[in-house]
Structure 1
Amino acid sequence: MTPVTVGLIGIACLFGLLIIRTPVAFAMLAVGFFGYWTLEGSRSAGGVLLTESYSAVANYNLIIVPMFVLLGNISAVSGFSRGLYDAAFAWVGRFKGGLASASVLGCAVFAAVSGSSVATAVTLGRVALPEMRRLGYAPSLSTGAIAAGGTLGFLIPPSTGFVLYAVLTEESIGRLFMAGILPGLLLTGLFMGAIWIVATLDPKAGPRGEPVPLGKRFRVLGQAAPLLAIIVISIGGIYAGVFTPVEASGVGAALVILLALTRRRLTFAGFREAVLNTLSTSAMLYMIVIGANVLNPFFAITRIPEALGDSLVELGFGAYGTLFVIIIAYLILGMFMDGLSMLVVTIPIVFPVVVAFGFDPIWFGVVAVIVIEMGMITPPVGLNVFVVRGVAGDVPLTTIFRGVMPFLIAMILGLLLIIAIPGIALLLPNSMFG
């Protein structure tokens, strides 16, 4: 068999393992190791397994993951996430669909703490869904807003999606973090616009909240200010060149622990829960990186990326036609795979194609992450939908999927704007790094 044939069989086996719910890390490890063994022999495969596993866990940049995850977990167990939501509600709650808009704003800010889509949806869902239910919000709008708002955790820095993309492509984590800020704000605004439209068409779906006096608004904002200041110090420090992304993650985690201790919001049990959750999440992500590092050499020797690139060129679609094909492929995969799985499986294959067509790799990272975000709320998998279903309790999945449709339309609009105006993603990284 030719290397390309072996590679195609490997890809088929990989998807087969994922379909039967094999953890993505172990599926990649198995396919990468045995595929390399098939083409180069057991000795070479063993060498790749050892060297690539070590190089993966020894990657200094990956320290970002446990540090920012710890920052988010400490914020959650200390109740700071409630403060973010209360501050957002105080300012936008009086508008149509204000409580849902406050939930999206809270998700956007908490995303800048946790870097995790699932953590954002769970944390804000526990806070916001009972309030929206109490005020009579339509279950579709309330759950749809949380499911869609949670996806911002995959885009707004410190995004674990960008960290993995940087590791897989050897691009700058700092540039990717900066590239995610304006698109994240754009999607947040589009989500709030979608809520306003839904609430205008059906006022009962998103009734206005009680107006909050200006003085109380500033008081509630002041209570959330310390955590907001930590976000500004961490992310702003990267932009200003004061910190590297790794240093910023450590500074942010240390500051939030100090804040929780000084405010006496951090118990030993809460700290233990936060650390254990951080270890669990970090171990999962490290294993995924190890699996990707073992799989990538197999793909390299099969020459699948080159063959795919040649095939796309022969189709004659051109640069943007090829990009459209890649996006459609992502949307289809998003119906069956979770975001991290899609990222680590597809990037080694499509990235060389994208670069060969002259697209900016940082810009494409933003595009890929947004498309993967869309997969998090599309049926039949829709990871964030299932997460919100677990928090909401008695809301049917069909209701939640119906509720996310306006937000999917908003994401498509945002994606088209970023494709048409690449500067939305590239302005900050280009101004920061020159």
Structure 2
Amino acid sequence: MTAGAQGLLMIAGLFVLLAMGLPIAMALVASGVVAILSVQGWSAADYLLGALPYSGAAEFAFIVIPLFLFMGHMAFSAGVSERGFRAALAWFGHIPGGLGIAAVSACAAFATVSGSSIATAATVAKVAVPEMLKAGYSKRLAGAAVATGGTLGVLIPPSSVMVLYSIATETPIPHLFMAGIVPGILTAVLYAVLIHMTVRRDPSMKELTVLPRAPMKQRLRLTLSSWEIILLFAVVMGTLYAGLATATEAAGYGALAALAVALARGTRWEEVKKGLQVSGASTASIFFLIIGAGIFSVALATTQMPQQIATAVTSLQLPPVLLMILLLLPFLVLGCFIDAASMVLLTMPIIFPIVKQAGIDPVLFGILVVKMTEIGNITPPVGLNVFVVSTTCPEIPVREAFRGVLPFFVVELVVVALLIAFPSLTLGLVR
């Protein structure tokens, strides 16, 4: 059997294990170990498997993962999402769809201190969804607005998915963070436009949901009460881009600042302890994925399959734009079944060699990959953000939320098309 055939068999085996319901990390480890044994033999497998789990996880850059997770939990404990929503409501509540726009704005604001799509959707849903339903929004629109707004958590920096992409491809984290700002704002603006148009088309909803215009004094007061968001974003991104700290140090400063803010807001030490436990548990899960992806990647490399695919694809001499679209299409399918972190760690060993050989900018491709993982977070049957919103707010049926997500799905595809057509939207700040 040729090496390429062994690689195909390895990938087929992985999907069989996933279809059987085996956890993704365990499926990656199992298929990788079997492939290493069959291709390299026992001695090579003994050496690789003895060293790889430690060397793959003992990366100093990985420290940012628990730090950003803890930062997000402390920001939630301090009530940052609720104050951000109240401030956005004061600015947008008087226009059609203002409550929905405020929910998306709160998601964008919380994304600057969270780094997690699921955490953003869950925290904003607790505050925004009951308000939207009470004001007369349909369950379909209320659930969809928060579920899709939550996807901004992995696009607006800091972002855990960007960190994993950086680790998998050796793309600088600061470049990815900077590149995500404009696409994140663009996505939030288009979400707001969609919500505004949806409410305006429904006369009954428009009449019920428009709130009185808040006076300027109240707007400014509520905006100033959300000072934690500005502070935490400035601590992380400011120290990073002023050259005062590396990405790891900036994450540490952000976690410390979030802890200080939470304690200043009256958060109890029991909640701090819970934040450490939750962050530690999530980090352990991510590290298991990283180790599994590392074993899978090494096993795949021994078959020479990624290099063969890269050579074959580049020999077709496809235009870079067409090639980029073809490389992104699998994410639409994978997003229906697996989470964002798994998608990145699973696909990069195969796809990124093609990206490098074709001369595609890795920062641009990274942001596009993050966008595709966003789409995966709102598409059935997995659609983690939709399930999180439905679990947090049981009055929102999952089926209704998925139906409401469809127009936002189209908006996401429009944003991806704009980013491909105008790379400067992504790379302008980086350059």
TM-score between both structures, scaled by the size of structure 1: 0.95
Unaligned runs of 5+ in 1: none
Within a 5 Å distance, the mapping from 1:219-258 to structure 2 comes to: 219-258=221-260
Aligned length: 429
Distance 2:42 2:203 in 1: 66
Q: What secondary structure, in the 3-state scheme, does the structure 2 residue paired with 1:429 have?
A: coil
Distance 1:205 1:329, change over 3 A: farther
**Equivalence for 2:417:** 416
Distance 1:161 1:276 in 2: 21
Distance 1:20 1:383, change over 3 A: farther
**Equivalence for 2:173:** 173
Contact 2:94 2:210 in 1 (8 A): yes
1:76 CA drift (Å): 1.2
Q: What secondary structure, in the 3-state scheme, does the structure 2 residue paired with 1:337 have?
A: coil
Deviations 1:109-165 (A, max 9, x none): 111111001111111111111111111111111111111011111111111111111
Distance 2:49 2:108 in 1: 38
**Equivalence for 2:400:** 399
What RMSD over aligned residues (CA atoms) do the two structures have, in Å? Answer: 1.5
- Identity, in percent, stands at 37
1:315 CA drift (Å): 5.2
Distance 2:43 2:289 in 1: 23
1:356 aligns with 2:351: no
What is the identity, as a one-letter code, of the residue corresponding to 1:212?
Answer: A
Distance 1:324 1:234 in 2: 33
Distance 1:50 1:129 in 2: 49
Distance 1:417 1:175 in 2: 20
Distance 1:205 1:283, change over 3 A: farther
1:340 aligns with 2:341: yes
Greater shift after overlay, 341-350 or 227-236? 227-236
1:425 CA drift (Å): 1.1
Contact 1:376 1:384 in 2 (8 A): yes
Contact 2:117 2:152 in 1 (8 A): yes
Contact 1:141 1:205 in 2 (8 A): no
Within a 5 Å distance, the mapping from 1:201-350 to structure 2 comes to: 201-205=201-205, 207-263=209-265, 265-313=266-314, 317-350=318-351
What is the identity, as a one-letter code, of the residue corresponding to 1:179?
Answer: A
1:114 aligns with 2:124: no
TM-score between both structures, scaled by the size of structure 2: 0.96
1:219 CA drift (Å): 1.0
Contact 2:109 2:229 in 1 (8 A): no
Distance 1:345 1:249 in 2: 25
**Equivalence for 2:426:** 425
Greater shift after overlay, 44-53 or 414-423? 44-53
Distance 1:204 1:352 in 2: 53
What is the identity, as a one-letter code, of the residue corresponding to 1:301?
Answer: T
Deviations 1:75-130 (A, max 9, x none): 11222221111111111121111111111111111111110011111111111111
1:236 CA drift (Å): 2.3
What is the identity, as a one-letter code, of the residue corresponding to 2:364?
Answer: W
Greater shift after overlay, 253-262 or 141-150? 253-262
Distance 1:231 1:167 in 2: 22
**Equivalence for 2:386:** 385
1:52 CA drift (Å): 2.1
**Equivalence for 2:21:** 21
Q: What secondary structure, in the 3-state scheme, does the structure 2 residue paired with 1:241 have?
A: coil
Distance 1:147 1:10 in 2: 35
Contact 1:198 1:205 in 2 (8 A): no
**Equivalence for 1:147:** 147
Contact 1:95 1:209 in 2 (8 A): yes
**Equivalence for 1:375:** 376
**Equivalence for 1:34:** 34
Within a 5 Å distance, the mapping from 1:58-69 to structure 2 comes to: 58-69=58-69
1:314 CA drift (Å): 5.4
Q: What secondary structure, in the 3-state scheme, does the structure 1 residue paired with 2:428 have?
A: helix
1:328 CA drift (Å): 1.9
